[in-house]
Amino acid sequence: MLQGIMSGRISSRSSKAQDRRDAHRIELMSPFIVSATFDSAHSHLCLARNVGVGGLLLEFQTESELSGVSDGFRCVLTDMMPEGYHTMQDVHCSVEWLYRKFVGVAFSRPFFMNHDALLEWMKRVRMSYRLVENAD
């Protein structure tokens, strides 16, 4: 049922969004905590669950943290590493979709140039991960 709901919502998007969805994604096995600020409102801590060249899947503690957030909202992400060790600071994104306490965000400007650059970043931050196969 979830696949039907999400596939209907995604298929109504542009082909560019569908291309991003079809791109390789990496599931994060280590916790990667980021602070997300939607449209200059309060910051919320969340977990990045998977990452791709075009964006991230974020999981929040509760759905109530996302009240008032909708598709197209601007979002700024900063990881919760100590000052001087940030690997992701003030990264501008836009909300692509919401489902319960999950939010898919797309990078406004390329953060990773390609899949190899993404894998290099994962190694640099010493994060455990696994590749996610695309669903056809």
CATH number for the domain including 32? 2.40.10.220
How many residues in the chain?
Answer: 136
pLDDT at position 50: 93
Domain that holds residue 30: 2-132
Tens digit of pLDDT for each residue in 73-93?
A: 999 999 888 777 778 889 999
Please state the domain count of the chain: 1
d(CA 29, CA 24): 16
Residue 23 pLDDT: 61
Cα gap 42→69, rounded to integer Å: 12
pLDDT of residue 85: 76
Rounded CA separation 135/21 (Å): 10
Instruction: Please report the pLDDT score of residue 104 as a whole number.
Output: 95
> What are the helix (H) ranges across 66-114?
none
Cα separation values, 92 from 9, 29, 118, 129, Å: 23, 24, 17, 23
Q: Which residues of the chain register pLDDT less than 50?
A: 1-14
Q: How far apart are the first and last CA of the chain?
A: 16
pLDDT for position 92: 94
